[in-house]
Every structure is written in C-alpha cells, then in structure tokens.
C-alpha cells in the first residue's frame, strides 16, 4: 500500500462507524426544506453520505429521491435505512462522481447538497448542477463559512490548508447571484448540527489513538476537531436556499 492509500484507509477506518459525515441535524434539514417554496416531486441529493438528511427529505416530502455518492459503503447504509422504514420504493441510489452526473437536463425540481459542494468547489457546483434543475427549480446547499473578518491565526492556518476557498456569507451570496440563482433564504446551522458531527468524531479519534498512534490521517482529523472546538465562533456551517433564476 502506498502512502496515499494508507492515509485513505486510515481515514475510512475513522469514519466507517460514524453516521454523520459532516455537520447536520434533522432540525436543520427540515427547516431548510420548509423554506423551499415548492412541493418537490423529484429530489437529487448529491454527496448523501449515509443518508441521515436523505431520511429527513423522505419523511417531510412525497418526492422520489435520487441519492448520489461515490462511496458505496455509505450508499449501502442509506439503502438499509430506507429498507428499515419500508420506503425504498422512493429511493434510487447512484454511485457516481458529483462532477460527472449521469442525468438528463432538467430532471429534478430540487437539488440537495449538505456539506459536499465544497469538494468540487462551490462555484463549480453552482455552475455544473444548474443544468439538472427544471425551470425555476431549487438548489439547497450547506457550506462552511467565515463568521468574522478577523479570524485567529490557528484557524486561518488550518483552513488555508483544508478549505482555501472558504468565504464570508456576503461573498458566497454574491457568487450565487452571479451564477444566476436567486437567494431565497439562508441561515446559520444550529449548534446541534455541529456537535452531531464533532462529538462522535472526537470520541472515535480517542478510541483509535492507542491502535494508530502514528497515523497521519488520525492526527489530521484530531487537529480539525481541536480547531473546530477552540475557534467554533469564528466559522461554521450555513444553509442556502436558491432558485434557478429563469430571468437571466
Ligand atoms: C462531508 S461528507 C457529507 C456527507 C453527508 N451529506 C452528511 O452530511 O453526512 C461528503 C460526502 O461526499 C462524498 N463524496 C466525496 N467526493 C465525492 C465525489 N467526487 N462525488 C460524489 N460524492 C463524493 C463522500 O463520500 C461523502 O459522503
């Protein structure tokens, strides 16, 4: 195994037992869905992970849901979740890359992305995903953003490495409007969403530390957990409810 493969194997070992793969909560997903001024009939969720948000979308809508991720183990967990609720008839899982989505133009009236658009770059995602929306369809996404103009040095150093495209809320909104979306609503995600992700992640790192004392992946994740605990008032996750702007 080369160094990169070993890093990724350790990374997956940390996350395999965790349900949330990014900050999120039922409350925040349901709040964002309630702000979409449409009764969706077809939802595309991109970067669905193990499907905790997918489950909320299914429970609070009647839509058929296409859930995309490129990690098969996550899609398998999502399928199991829907089977347990006997709602698998409304779910289609697709193992694909978010940069090469195998769908026809205009196929969905709502696209949902929690904590995943940053992977291909939010501006890229805004641009590339728009074609899959029906006329005046909606895009809902969450993203990590700066909440201060003067962050602390450790926070700057960390995010410069991990997410150099992290922006302020007004800058992101400007990019969304430039990409031909109307910003219908936006809100800062709850503290519960933050702790749903970081509390189990911290516990998992502590559990694995004795077995993997020199793992770079584990050390990097530990560093993220520390930064996100110590400087959490300087940045955080934000939800945006956008509408494809047909007037452009
Ligand atoms: C930060 S996690 C968020 C997962 C989930 N939305 C949640 O909040 O728990 C990002 C997700 O994107 C998936 N992913 C990473 N790169 C991808 C790609 N190129 N195409 C599709 N999915 C990808 C990962 O497997 C992971 O499930």
Residues 63-112 have pLDDT tens digits of 999 999 999 999 999 999 999 999 999 999 999 999 999 999 999 999 99
Distances (CA, A) of 144 to 158, 232, 239: 13, 11, 9
**CA-45 nearest atom, ligand 1:** 6
CATH number at residue 151: 3.40.50.150
Instruction: Name the pTM for this structure.
Output: 0.96
- Expressed in angstroms and rounded, the spacing between residue 49 Cα and the centre of ligand 1 is 5
Give the CA count within 13 Å in the CB-facing half-sphere of 244: 21
Are the beta carbons of 47 and 93 closer than 8 angstroms?
no
The residue count of the chain comes to 248
Give the CA count within 13 Å in the CB-facing half-sphere of 68: 18
Give the CA count within 13 Å in the CB-facing half-sphere of 222: 14
- Expressed in angstroms and rounded, the spacing between residue 71 Cα and the centre of ligand 1 is 8
Q: Does any ligand 1 atom lie closer than 6 A to the CB of residue 97?
A: yes
**CA-116 nearest atom, ligand 1:** 10
| Rounded-to-integer distance, Cα 234 and Cα 113, Å | 23
User: Which residues constitute the domain of residue 143?
Assistant: 3-244
Are the beta carbons of 67 and 75 closer than 8 angstroms?
yes
For 22-60, write each residue's pLDDT tens digit: 999 999 999 999 999 999 999 999 999 999 999 999 999
Number of domain units in the chain = 1
Residue nearest to atom 10 of ligand 1 (CA): 116
């Amino acid at each position: 195994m080369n160094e990169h493969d070993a890093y990724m194997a350790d990374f997956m070992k940390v996350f395999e037992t965790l349900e949330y793969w990014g900050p999120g909560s039922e409350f925040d997903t349901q709040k964002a869905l309630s702000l979409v001024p449409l009764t969706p009939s077809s939802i595309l969720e991109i970067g669905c992970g193990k499907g905790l948000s997918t489950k909320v979308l299914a429970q609070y809508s009647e839509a058929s849901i296409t859930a995309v991720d490129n990690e098969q183990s996550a899609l398998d967990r999502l399928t199991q979740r829907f089977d347990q609720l006997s709602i698998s008839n409304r779910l289609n899982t697709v193992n694909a890359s978010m940069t090469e989505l195998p769908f026809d133009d205009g196929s969905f009236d709502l696209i949902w992305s929690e904590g995943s658009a940053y992977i291909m770059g939010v501006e890229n995602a805004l641009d590339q995903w728009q074609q899959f929306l029906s006329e005046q369809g909606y895009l809902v996404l969450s993203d990590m953003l700066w909440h201060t103009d003067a962050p602390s040095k450790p926070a700057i150093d960390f995010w410069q490495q991990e997410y150099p495209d992290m922006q302020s809320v007004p800058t992101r909104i400007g990019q969304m409007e430039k990409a031909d979306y109307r910003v219908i609503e936006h809100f800062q995600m709850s503290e519960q969403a933050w702790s749903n992700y970081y509390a189990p992640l911290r516990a998992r790192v502590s559990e694995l530390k004795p077995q993997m004392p020199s793992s770079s992946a584990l050390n990097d994740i530990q560093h993220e957990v520390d930064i996100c605990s110590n400087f959490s008032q300087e940045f955080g996750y934000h939800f945006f409810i956008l509408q494809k702007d047909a007037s452009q």
